[in-house]
Amino acid sequence: MAGPSEILIIGGGGHGRVVADAAELLGLDIEGFLDDHREAQLATQSPRFTWQGALPGSRAGAPDRPWILALGDLKARRAVLTVLSASAGPLPINIIHPRAIVSPSACLGLGIFAGPGAIIHACASVEHHAIINSGAIVEHDCAIGENAHIAPGAVLGGNVTIGPDTLVGLGARVLPNIRIGGGCIIGAGAVIVRNVPDGSTVKGVPGR
């Protein structure tokens, strides 16, 4: 039976390595990782990080201990989440890096990752399995959808809404009160000055 601090990381690539670093700083015991590749990057980081099997799906079942989804690709994350949503196993946990800042009035779902230097400000809400990556800023009253990824250095002004499964790319800027739909890709360095409909890809300054 897993202890209260024993967790499983789902995904052994680059993002898995980042999540593992934060988990160790929080004093969590990483029992191992799931990945379709036994020799994933995480396996080379430490002998403590052992491969425990394939990603949940047709070849593998749900994890048997608390877990966090650490795949970087949003479509791959969604596929795993679809499988796990039908399971009754242990709940996901949040990994909030010790150098992240989370307002006491912010509302976080489950399975959230916040990287070093990330800021989640007053009254912001972050839905399940979202990533607020290193140095990203989520200002007051923002709403971040499930499985969205706010990439390193991205800045969201106040009262911005980001739909589920949307990537806000490296260093992008979103002006206050903007709504970005689900399944969007906001390119690195883009500046978003108007609302973005579902499924859009936007890049440039201003974003088009």
Catalytic residues: 140
CB atoms closer than 10 angstroms to residue 193: 13
Beta-bridge partners for 51: 33
Beta-bridge partners for 29: 6
Collapsed DSSP state (helix, strand, coil) of residue 8: strand
Collapsed DSSP state (helix, strand, coil) of residue 191: strand
Beta-bridge partners for 86: none
Bond preceding residue 206 cis, omega within 30 of 0:
yes
Phi and psi at residue 14, to the nearest 5°: -60, -45
CA–CA dist 122, 70 (Å, integer): 26
Which secondary structure element, helix H or strand E, spans residue 143, and what is its range? strand 143-144
Give the residue carrying structure tokens 């911005």. 160
Which amino acid is residue 5, in one-letter code? S
